[in-house]
A and B are shown apart, each in its own frame.
Chain A
Amino acid sequence: MKMVSAIIKPFKLDEVREALSQLGVQGITVTEVKGFGRQKGHTELYRGAEYVVDFLPKVKLEAAVDGAVLEQVIEAIEGAARTGKIGDGKIFVYDLEQVVRIRTGETGKEAL
């Protein structure tokens, strides 16, 4: 089992979600985050005070998936989230040790 964590541009969320649900990924967790990589921030000017804001708003999307579908999931996210411009984001994959469905108590692959 793997945890796929993707940082994407906020307006790409719906597309990525569509692509994942077509693959049969049932549930995801979404967080609003901010960060930067190579994409530059912007300057804000309040009267005489100028601030350079490095952080850009992004969306973090996490999904716990079966190792068998991992490659397809990565491809789906990549394809849906890509714009070709700097700031498209990154995908991280973690090893997932245990999953539990709280309602029923199921564990492991059945809980995914």
Chain B
Amino acid sequence: MKKSLPALSLGVGLLAAAAGAFAQEAAPVAAVVVEAVVQTAAPVAAAAEEVAKLDAGDTAWMLTSTMLVILMVIPGLALFYGGLVRSKNMLSVLAQVFTIFSLITVLWAIYGFSLTFGGEGKFYGSFDKLFLAGITPDTLSATLATIPEYVFVAFQSTFAAITVALIVGAFAERMKFAAVMIFSVLWFTFSYIPMAHMVWGGGLLAADGALDFAGGTVVHINAAVAGLVGAYMVGKRIGFGKEALPPHSLTLTMVGASLLWVGWFGFNAGSAGAANGIAGLAFINTILATGAAAVAWIVTESLHKGKASMLGAASGAVAGLVTITPAAGFVGPMGSIVMGLIAGPLCLWGVSGLKRMLKVDDVCDVFGVHGVGGILGAILTGVFCAAGLGGVEPEGYNMAAQVWVQFKSVIVTIVWCGVASFICFKIADVLVGLRVPEDAEREGLDITTHGESAYNR
């Protein structure tokens, strides 16, 4: 690490200077809440009233973004995680991700949307839109006025689903399928929905001015903390620390990581809510931060361990993606490169040094990547959104104040999620028990839980 630090600091310093030099005189935008749609149209005359109208470009883009995020989950995340576990547990990971996606999107439509976006309570919306009541194909979204409400519901359903699905990587290879499902429903209800409401639905954190473009807190820190709690509560795998438990298919992990990267354009650029300049900004940031982080990870890895690994490149890319998620529509391209360069080595530490310190068996490094990356991204969003660093500054911006607000939102997320996750896991434990019996774990979850074998010789 000592060798890489001066080199990395120099590189980061140079790029920060570049970011400053390239700073645009960006007009301060009143972007308080995530997914703030930047009005690119000329300001309307005071007399005329602006009537919301469906925009075909925005709608087409949001539909596309939704599909991209779906691909991120199935098969992106499924394969990314699946390749990291042993072959006897491959199907269990695929089944958990697939089923969670199917289940959570349905629950989202039934009550999730209403409780998140259906009102302006501090922690929850309302039951006004239960079963999507009152919405027709022609209804325009209350949040994004140029697209149909159904499209917005669909787009948001994928966010809910992927957040829950992210968690399974932490406790893979030893948790009961029933426990996973029970936990998922409870956690979706008591952690995801309130968090999403507080940040995006007009609740507590939005009022504070916290910047979270596509879900650094709501999705990544939220899922990461849940994963960490789950990994602690279910306990380490048999043989952890003694036997070799290597990934069974890094090929599939790479396929999964690639699908995640490509799909993430829907996740970040789609969070602009429209086909406009901010979407373009989020899009390009999603390329740059990711590439920078992947390279930074493997450079650090090779300086430290002597070899640059494929898994390192894939993990670095995901780390960059996570870090840029809250910042995608707020920071400039050069800023996103700097963020990526920091994310790579920091998340590498997250999956090695930090993981050892935490003494946790987090199989797919959910906390090391999504937790560390999410926290880093949330804080740095407050820094790099500065106009002086090429970002899109909110009105009345003050860096220290903004970073403090970002930090508070991180703490609130960690605390809320930590407590909620613990309770949800406990309930699942009491109802069905969390962990499979020892011989089931030894034989493999595919055979014992699902009655199937992934690979027939």
Interface size on A, residues (CB 8 A): 9
Contact residues in B for A52 (Cβ distance below 8 Å): 244
Identify which of A45, A51, A53 contacts B307 (C-beta below 8 A).
A45
A48 touches B353 (CB 8 A): yes
Chain A residues whose CB sits within 8 angstroms of the CB of B57 once the complex forms: none
Looking at the complex, which one of B246, B348, B353, B368 makes contact with A46 (CB distance below 8 Å)?
A: B246
Q: Which residue of A lies closest to B245 (CB)?
A: A49
A103 CB-CB contact with B under 8 Å: no
Contact B355 A48 (CB under 8 A): yes
**Contact indicator B312/A47 (Cβ below 8 Å):** yes
* Distance of A17 Cα from B322 Cα, bound (Å): 54
B365 touching A47, Cβ below 8 Å: yes
Query: A53's contact among B244, B245, B352, by CB below 8 Å, is which?
Result: B244
Distance between B351 CB and nearest chain A CB, rounded to angstroms: 4
Instruction: From B244, B307, B309, B311, name the one whose CB has the most chain A CB atoms within 10 angstroms.
Output: B244
Distance, CA A46 to CA B348, complexed state (A): 11
Q: Quick check: is A44 within 8 A (CB to CB) of the other chain?
A: yes
Contact residues of B: prevailing secondary structure:
helix
List residues of chain A with CB within 8 A of the CB of B84. 46
Question: What is the total of A-B residue contacts with beta carbons within 8 Å?
Answer: 31
Cα A51 to Cα B86 in complex, Å, equals 14
Considering the complex, which residues of chain B in the window 217-273 have a beta carbon less than 8 Å from any beta carbon of chain A? 244-247
Q: Is B315 an interface residue, CB under 8 A from the partner?
A: yes
Nearest B residue (CB) for A53: B244
Produce 1/0 per residue, A39-74, CB < 8 A to B.
000001111110111000000000000000000000
What residues on B are CB-neighbors of A51 within 8 Å? 244, 246
With a cutoff of 8 Å between Cβ atoms, the chain A residues found around residue B356 in the complex are 48
| Chain A residues with CB under 8 A of B450 | none
A14 → chain B, closest Cβ, in Å?
A: 25
B residues near A48, Cβ cutoff 8 Å: 351-353, 355-356, 365, 368
> Do residues B351 and A47 form an inter-chain contact, with CB atoms below 8 A?
yes
Beta-carbon contacts under 8 Å, A1-53 to B: 44-49, 51-53
**Bound-state Cα–Cα, A31 to B307, Å:** 32
CA distance A106 to B258 in the complex (A): 59
Given known pairs A51-B244, A51-B246, A53-B244, the reply for A46 and B311 (CB within 8 Å) is: yes
20 example contacts (A-B, Cβ-Cβ < 8 A) are as follows A44-B244, A44-B246, A45-B305, A45-B309, A46-B246, A46-B311, A47-B311, A47-B312, A47-B315, A47-B348, A47-B351, A47-B365, A48-B352, A48-B353, A48-B355, A48-B365, A49-B245, A49-B246, A51-B244, A52-B244
B: residues with CB less than 8 A from A are 84, 244-247, 305, 307, 309, 311-312, 315, 348, 351-353, 355-356, 365, 368
